[in-house]
Amino acid sequence: MHSAVFLIEFGAIILGLGLLGRFAGRFRFSPIPLYLLAGLAFGKGGLLPFGASEEFVAIGAEIGVILLLLMLGLEYTASDLVSNLKTQYPAGLVDFGLNAVPGAVAALLMGWGPVAAVVLAGVTWISSSGVIAKVMGDLGRLGNRETPVILSILVLEDLAMAVYLPIITALLAGVGLAAGSATLAIALGVAGAVLFVAVRYGRLISRFVSSDDPEKLLLVVLGLTLLVAGVAQQLQVSAAVGAFLVGIALSGEVADGAHTLLSPLRDLFAAVFFVFFGLHTDPASIPPVLLPALALAVVTALTKIATGYWAARRAGIGVKGRWRAGGTLVARGEFSIVIAGLAVTAGVQPELGPFATAYVLILVVIGPLTARYTEPVATWIGSRRTSPPPEEAPVPEPAPEPVRVPDAGPGSATDRV
């Protein structure tokens, strides 16, 4: 009976996702906000809570994040990654300054203390690679000139998580300096080793994975990705970072073939991830923290737009591309929830969990909209400011007054104009 209920619930989820996707496609916008709202409707405190399929949906959501980051990594080669890290690191510093500081200041203003400030700084700092990768694919922008700038910032953020997560874990656990340093050293060593292997032996890995049989290629790539992601997570490094580095290591025909084969799986499990995010959000916990979360969301949406605009201008991208880059970076998602979840588990601040959930939910709904409409809105405002004022109709000049001059004859006069 439990199996039957599971099949019914999970089948209903997948069918509902398909219908929502078709609805969004008809009106040419990203289906991600609809997936999240569906999760809210059928999650804890929603209209019709699901239960039997929750564990499977959780596993599917984790696979969805891993596949999203793998596909993002397939867009780059290892040499591209190293080059972008060398040229775009100033954008990463600007990104940190503009977007982490507002979260830390907000936590301190609300009296949550320094540890909560470090946590909320991470929540507001990191954009959602999963949401942004999906949005760029939906909007057909993967080949745009500003896309490498966006991906470079996302890469820097994801790699920074390899340092940030061990630090925040040590702070929340209250461990000593020695234990925290050891955790950080392990995380950095693992991330550095995987990156070194990807750069140095990427061709050998691609040759090992390569196969003319699509079935064998799919199984090997998917198995390798899940294996590396699991090992990375076991060693206190994000599974998403591990999956991204696997995508970096694959290149050439292998990357093209894996991209084609994995795209349907990515779309399926990515949709499950967004639904799962909504399923674990109690709608009743959102109203008390909605206004401060909304205020912080507006501030950090503007700072993300400024970050993308600055980075794209520095890379020589045109004005429209700068606005597209800024609008695309607004969404927060999986990493922000992971960071907030660590703090909630540690019992740092009871209100931090609902606050972070409301904040991420606002930006993950607004993010696809800013990605789509920031550039046309900015263009429209710019055209209104630079358009010349309407010309006034010319005022006709009055006719000249007649001038009276004396006539040649005595005592006579004539009017001459």
- What lies within 8 Å, CB to CB, of 98 at 6+ separation is 303, 304, 306, 307
Mean pLDDT of the chain: 79
- pLDDT of 103 higher than 70: yes
- pLDDT of 306 higher than 70: yes
25 or 412, greater pLDDT:
25
If 0-12 CB within 10 Å is exposed, 13-18 middle and 19+ buried, where does residue 127 land?
A: buried
- Give the three-class secondary structure for 130: helix
For the stretch 145-197, pLDDT in tens is 888 889 889 878 877 776 787 777 777 766 555 555 676 677 667 667 767 77
Around Cβ 411, how many Cβ atoms within 10 Å? 6
96 or 206, greater pLDDT:
96
What H or E segment, with its residue span, contains residue 416?
A: strand 413-416
What H or E segment, with its residue span, contains residue 95?
A: helix 78-109
The answer to whether the CB of 277 falls within 8 A of the CB of 231 is no
Distance of alpha carbon 153 from alpha carbon 95, whole angstroms: 8
372 or 398, greater pLDDT:
372
Residue 107: predicted pLDDT: 93
The answer to whether the CB of 305 falls within 8 A of the CB of 374 is yes
For the stretch 23-69, pLDDT in tens is 887 876 667 778 877 877 776 666 666 665 667 777 877 888 788 77
- What lies within 8 Å, CB to CB, of 375 at 6+ separation is 320, 323, 324, 327
**Residues of the chain with pLDDT > 90: what percent?**
17
At 408, the pLDDT band (50, 70, 90 cuts) reads very low
- Give the three-class secondary structure for 113: coil
pTM for the structure as a whole: 0.70
